[in-house]
Amino acid sequence: MNWYNVGKIVNTHGIRGEVRVMSRTDFPEERYAKGARLGLFMPGEKEPVMLTVASRRAHKNFDLLTFEGHTSINDVEKYRDGILKVPDEDLGELEEGEFYYHEIIGCTVVDQEGREIGKVTEVLETGANDVWAVKPPEGKMHYIPYIEDVVLEVDTEKGRIVIDPIEGLLS
């Protein structure tokens, strides 16, 4: 089974078993909904601790979660620095033109003539649109905005992305 990162527990919050989560998902309402099941992977551990969300609320730049059966700070302190993940069967379908990060990272980026530009190593969230960090075989990193004018085709099955590099994009 494959697991995908949706957040990291960075601290506890209060004394009633709440944890502060730095979210890594575009769907916090769904991932952290009451009753949602999450796998908690602790550093150095191979098997997850399965948790069920009891409550979620937003606080500053974090999501505050409680888990069923964890009503005190003493129950959740040990979860600090744990990574919350969901199994692949819980990912759900996306709309056309939307992709999960794991589908994009590792894809080969080419121009319209088929010349390789590099591989996507990271997806950066900038607000207006995502930007894909692309590492060429040699040289410095390129940053490709995920916009219609630049990204012409994404084939996640073949691991190939075709772009039209606007002037100055690859310099």
8/54 same-domain check: yes
Read off the CATH number of the domain in which 146 is found: 2.30.30.240
Give backbone dihedrals phi and psi of 150, rounded to 5 degrees, phi first.
-105, -50
Q: How many domains does the chain have?
A: 2
Q: What is the CATH number of the domain that holds 65?
A: 2.40.30.60
Residues 72 and 116 in one domain: no
135 lies in some domain? yes
Phi, psi for residue 22 in degrees, rounded to 5: -90, 110
Residue 170 has pLDDT above 90, yes or no: no
- At 149, the amino acid letter reads D
**Which pTM does this prediction carry?**
0.71
The CA distance from 25 to 110, in Å, is 28
Mean pLDDT of 54-62: 93
Domain membership of residue 65 as a residue range = 3-90
122-159 tens-digit pLDDT: 988 887 889 999 999 998 999 999 999 999 999 999 99
The radius of gyration computed from the CA coordinates of the chain, to the nearest angstrom, equals: 19
Give dist(CA 117, CA 134) in Å, integer: 8
Mean pLDDT of 63-92: 94
Same domain? For 15 and 69 the reply is: yes
Cα–Cα distance measured from residue 164 to residue 162, given in angstroms and rounded to the nearest whole number: 7
Judge if 83 and 106 occupy the same domain. no
Query: Which whole-number Å values give the CA distances from 54 to 19, 47, 71, in the listed order?
Result: 12, 22, 10
Is 147 domain-assigned? yes
